[in-house]
Amino acid sequence: MSVALSSALFATATAGKATAANSVVFATCLVLLTGAILLLIRALRGPTVFDRILAINALGTKTVVLVALIAFVDFPHGNPSFFLDTGLVYALVNFVATIAILKYIQYRRLG
Partner 1 sequence: MGVLEIVGSLFLAAGCVLALTGSIGVLRMPDFYSRLHPAGKSDTLAQALILIGLALFAGQQMLEVVLAGRAGEHGGAELIGLANIMLKLVLLSALLFVTAPTATHAIAKAARLDRFTRIRVEEDPGASRVGDIVVAGDVGEQLQEEPGPVLDVHDDEPGADADADAPPSSHDTQSEDD
Spatial separation of the C-alpha atoms in residues 97 and 103, rounded to whole Å: 10
Q: For residues 12 and 102, which CB has a smaller minimum distance to partner 1 in the complex?
A: 102
Sign of the dihedral through C-alpha 21, 24, 29, 30: positive
Range list of β-strands (E), 3-91: none
Instruction: Point out which residues bind partner 1 (CB under 8 A).
Output: 19-21, 24-25, 27-28, 31-32, 34-36, 38-39, 41-42, 47-48, 50-51, 53-55, 57-58, 61-62, 64-65, 68-69, 71-72, 75-76, 79-81, 84-85, 87-88, 91-92, 94-95, 98-99, 102, 105-106
